[in-house]
Amino acid sequence: MDRIRIVGGNELHGVIPISGAKNAALPLMIASLLTDDTLTLENVPHLADVEQLIRILGNHGADISVNGRRERQGESYARTIHFTSRNIVSTTAPYELVSKMRASFWVIGPLLAREGKARVSLPGGCAIGTRPVDLFIEGLTALGAEIEIDGGYVNAKAPEGGLVGGRYVFPKISVGATHVLMMAATLANGTTVIGNAAREPEVADLARCLNAMGARISGHGTSTITIDGVRSLSGARHRVLPDRIETGTYAMAVAMAGGDVILEDTEASLLDTALETIRRAGAEISETNNGIRIVRNGTGIRPVDIVTDPFPGFPTDLQAQFMGLMTKSSGVSHITETIFENRFMHVQELARLGAKISLSGQTAKIEGVSRLKGAPVMATDLRASVSLVIAGLAAEGETMVSRVYHLDRGFERLEEKLTRCGAHVERVSD
């Protein structure tokens, strides 16, 4: 099993290309099930979750081809993938596939809308919380679906003639459920209004792609989304937006290690709140023609308090990374997690490096220390894994991160990108 070895102490200088967003690519790929034409997606990252979803879509009958690779210093980025779901051969998403990646549950929306039925395994819990599917079921029921749960599967059936437009107000913001309800409503009869919808850039990106396919969606990027159903969707070509979580992660890595790095192929507007927080912590951030420049030379890391919130607030997916940064701040900071109930499992691993962190409910108190010391640590989930890398960049000696398969789910070639900027980071295979 692979591990990541980090020898801390090196500043970062250079250019880091930002990949396409995993959290945008996954729902875009699933949207290909809505049409029998070809959906072509550009800038798709090469990640474990993307490869798993390719297998899942293939189970439903999608034909998938990859081309258009752009070489950069011997590496492949910005893949172009063509998805053609001319014939849906199965409306069942089995447990053995859905259990490996929660987002695969989202196929329930397109399958129900296009085929009138879907049988999708319950995804179960995950490392960062239970994340129930109640909101998905309630939203689809508002479109006329009949849904029952039996034997660990969600069995959904549309009324004769297909789904019908309806109004549903989410009692709690859910990015995944917003994706699913929006996709399902594109082929419903009549108009659907989604209230308290997620405003994340990835939701708006999906809406733009669906509109390019012939959908009639308005209000995306706001809390009220309106969808006028159409009879069918066509193919389209769409470029996946830059990964704002990867952008924020590398910005924090530079703030932690020091240095001067250009984050290329990304947009500051995707994560204004996070960038402003990193500025308050002591880094200089400016926009360039094709990205963002992060600089921290000589100044210390200042303590900053944050509360995670849905977009445009501070992203929960950057909480662990920011905690890693705060371990070396010049004072006391507090992080309050409001999205997931079990997202502090990285605390004990950071403590192995010398961090001083205490928990009280959903708030972590971080007392900054002057030095961290390398140690063997274990990744507990995707974002926690990279927080350990960030801490390791500033730790004395060697940090060895195990269970890096979590890292491979969401960060494309992380060790190679950091190494190119002067970090001592390498993948070690046992």
Catalytic residues: 126
Mark 337-370 as b/e (b = at least 16 C-beta within 10 Å): bbbbeebbebbebbebbbbebeeeebebebebee
Partners of 41 in the β-ladder = 81, 238
Mark 147-166 as b/e (b = at least 16 C-beta within 10 Å): beeeeebbebebeeebbbbb
Question: Would the CA dihedral through 8, 10, 11, 16 be positive or negative?
Answer: negative
How far from chain centre, in Å, is Cα 183? Answer: 18
At residue 162's C-alpha, the angle toward residues 134 and 220, to 5°, is: 60
How far from chain centre, in Å, is Cα 119? Answer: 25
Does 243 appear as a known binding residue?
no
Distance CA 183, CA 96 (A): 24
Does 339 appear as a known binding residue?
yes
Does 22 appear as a known binding residue?
yes
Does 328 appear as a known binding residue?
no
**35 φ, ψ (degrees, to nearest 5):** -135, 155
Helix (H) or strand (E) holding 71, with range, is strand 70-72
Does 131 appear as a known binding residue?
yes
- Is residue 77 a contact partner of residue 119, using CB atoms and an 8 Å limit? no
Q: Judging by DSSP bridges, how do beta strands 12-17 and 38-44 pair with one another? A: unpaired
Does 133 appear as a known binding residue?
yes
Does 317 appear as a known binding residue?
yes
Does 102 appear as a known binding residue?
yes
Distance CA 146, CA 375 (A): 53
Does 132 appear as a known binding residue?
yes
Distance CA 216, CA 190 (A): 11
**Structure-block tokens of residue 42:** 């550009």
Does 228 appear as a known binding residue?
no
Nearest to 253 by CA among 347, 310, 324: 324
At residue 410's C-alpha, the angle toward residues 404 and 416, to 5°, is: 65
Distance CA 60, CA 89 (A): 5
Q: Is 86 exposed, middle or buried (0-12, 13-18, 19+ CB in 10 A)?
A: exposed
Annotated binding-site positions: 22-23, 102, 131-135, 317, 339
Annotated binding-site positions for phosphoenolpyruvate: 22-23
Annotated binding-site positions for UDP-N-acetyl-alpha-D-glucosamine: 102, 131-135, 317, 339
